[in-house]
Amino acid sequence: MKIRLSALLSSALIIVCAFSVDAQLIDRGSLVARNNPRVTQIDTLSSLTVGNGEFAFTVDATGLQTFPEYYRKGVPLGTQSQWGWHSFPNAESYTHSETLKEYDFGHGHTELYSTQLKEPERGKAACEWFRVNPHRLHLGCIGIADISPRQVTDIDQVLDMWNGVIRSNYKVDGKPVSVLTSCHPDRDMVSAEINTSLKLPVAFRFPYPTGAHADDACDWSCDSLHATRIVSSGENNVMLSHTLDDTSYYISVSWDGDVIPSMTGRNEFRLTPLSDSWSFTAEFSPLDTGVYEANALEVRSEASRYWDYFWRSGGVVDFSECTDPRAQELERRVVLSQYLLAVQCAGSTPPQETGLTYNSWFGKFHLEMIWWHQAQFALYGHDNLLARTLPWYESVLPLAREIAHRQGFDGVRWMKMTDPSGVEAPSKVGSFLIWQQPHIIYLAELLHRANPNGAVIEKYADQVEETARFMASFVSYDPVKGRYTLKGIIPAQETLRAAETVNPPFELSYWHFGLLTANKWRERRGLPRDEKWDEIASSLSHLSSKDSLYLAAETAPQTYSDIRFTSDHMAVLGALGILPQSPLLELDIMNSTFDWIYSNWNWNKTWGWDYPTTAMCATRLGEPEKAVNALMMDKRTNTYLPNGHNYQDDRLRCYLPGNGGLLTAIALMTAGWDGCDVRNPGFPKDGTWNVRWEGIKPLP
Residue 20 pLDDT more than 50?
no
Residue 296 pLDDT more than 80?
yes
Which stretch of DSSP H or E encloses residue 214? strand 214-215
Ramachandran sector of residue 541 (left: φ over 0; alpha: ψ -120 to 50; beta: rest) = beta
CB 342 within 8 A of CB 385: yes
Domains, the chain, ranges and CATH?
38-87+135-307 (2.70.98.50), 327-694 (1.50.10.10)
Q: Report angle CA 273, 277, 281 to the nearest 5 degrees.
A: 70
**Percent of the chain with pLDDT strictly greater than 90:** 94
* Confidence grade of residue 567 (pLDDT, cut at 50, 70, 90): confident
* Confidence grade of residue 4 (pLDDT, cut at 50, 70, 90): very low
Task: Report the amino acid identity of residue 130.
Answer: F
E strands, 47-139, in order: 48-51, 55-59, 79-81, 85-86, 100-103, 111-114, 135-136
Span 533-545, mean pLDDT?
98
* CB within 8 Å of 630: residues ≥ 6 apart: 598, 611, 612, 614, 615, 618
Residue 333 pLDDT more than 90?
yes
* Confidence grade of residue 290 (pLDDT, cut at 50, 70, 90): confident
CB 643 within 8 A of CB 49: yes
Q: Nearest 10 degrees: CA dihedral of 625, 629, 632, 638?
A: -140
Residue 2 pLDDT more than 90?
no
Alpha helices in 110-199 (DSSP H): 121-132
* CB within 8 Å of 206: residues ≥ 6 apart: 139, 140, 141, 226, 228, 242, 267, 268
CB 170 within 8 A of CB 61: yes
* CB within 8 Å of 427: residues ≥ 6 apart: 114, 115, 116, 131, 416, 417
Span 421-437, mean pLDDT?
98
Q: Report angle CA 31, 34, 39 to the nearest 5 degrees.
A: 145
Q: How far is CA 616 from CA 12, 515, 517, 581, 668, in A?
A: 35, 22, 21, 12, 7
Which stretch of DSSP H or E encloses residue 612? helix 610-620
CB atoms under 10 Å from CB of 96, counted, come to 16
Query: What pLDDT was estimated at residue 291?
Result: 78
Q: What is the DSSP letter of 379?
A: H
pTM above 0.85, yes or no: yes
Span 514-523, mean pLDDT?
98
Query: What pLDDT was estimated at residue 16?
Result: 40
Beta bridge partners of 360: 214
CB 259 within 8 A of CB 272: yes
Q: How far is CA 554 from CA 474, 491, 558, in A?
A: 17, 12, 10
* CB within 8 Å of 256: residues ≥ 6 apart: 236, 278, 279, 280, 295, 296
Sign of CA dihedral 621, 505, 531, 393: positive
* Confidence grade of residue 15 (pLDDT, cut at 50, 70, 90): very low
CA-based Rg of the chain, rounded to a whole angstrom?
25
Residue 695 pLDDT more than 80?
yes
Q: Give residue 149's Cα distance to chain centre.
A: 31
CB 303 within 8 A of CB 185: yes
| Alpha carbon distance, N-terminus to C-terminus of the chain | 27
35-49, 131-145, 279-293: segment of lowest average pLDDT = 279-293
- DSSP β-ladder status, 189-195 and 202-205: unpaired
CB 262 within 8 A of CB 270: yes
* Confidence grade of residue 3 (pLDDT, cut at 50, 70, 90): very low
Residues 19, 15: Cα–Cα separation, whole Å = 9
5-19, 241-255, 274-288, 556-570: segment of lowest average pLDDT = 5-19
Residues 607, 360: Cα–Cα separation, whole Å = 15
Q: Report angle CA 498, 543, 558 to the nearest 5 degrees.
A: 60
Q: What is the pLDDT of residues 138-174, one digit of tens each?
A: 999 999 999 999 999 999 999 999 999 999 999 999 9
Which stretch of DSSP H or E encloses residue 660? helix 656-671
Beta bridge partners of 157: 39, 168
Span 432-459, mean pLDDT?
97
Per the prediction, the chain carries an average pLDDT of: 95
Q: What is the pLDDT of residues 616-655, one digit of tens each?
A: 999 999 999 999 999 999 999 999 999 999 999 999 999 9
Query: What pLDDT was estimated at residue 14?
Result: 37
Residue 119 pLDDT more than 70?
yes
Report helix, strand or coil for 422. Answer: coil
Residue 23 pLDDT more than 80?
no
* CB within 8 Å of 116: residues ≥ 6 apart: 124, 127, 128, 131, 426, 427, 428
Q: What is the DSSP letter of 150?
A: G
Residue 451 pLDDT more than 80?
yes
Residues 387, 351: Cα–Cα separation, whole Å = 13
Residue 425 pLDDT more than 80?
yes
3-state helix, strand, coil in the chain (%, to 5): 35, 20, 45
Q: What is the DSSP string of 548-600?
A: TEE-SSTT-TTTTT-GGGSSS--GGGGGTTTS---TTS-HHHHHHHHHHHHHH
* CB within 8 Å of 12: residues ≥ 6 apart: none
CB atoms under 10 Å from CB of 301, counted, come to 14
CB 337 within 8 A of CB 660: yes
Query: What pLDDT was estimated at residue 565?
Result: 87
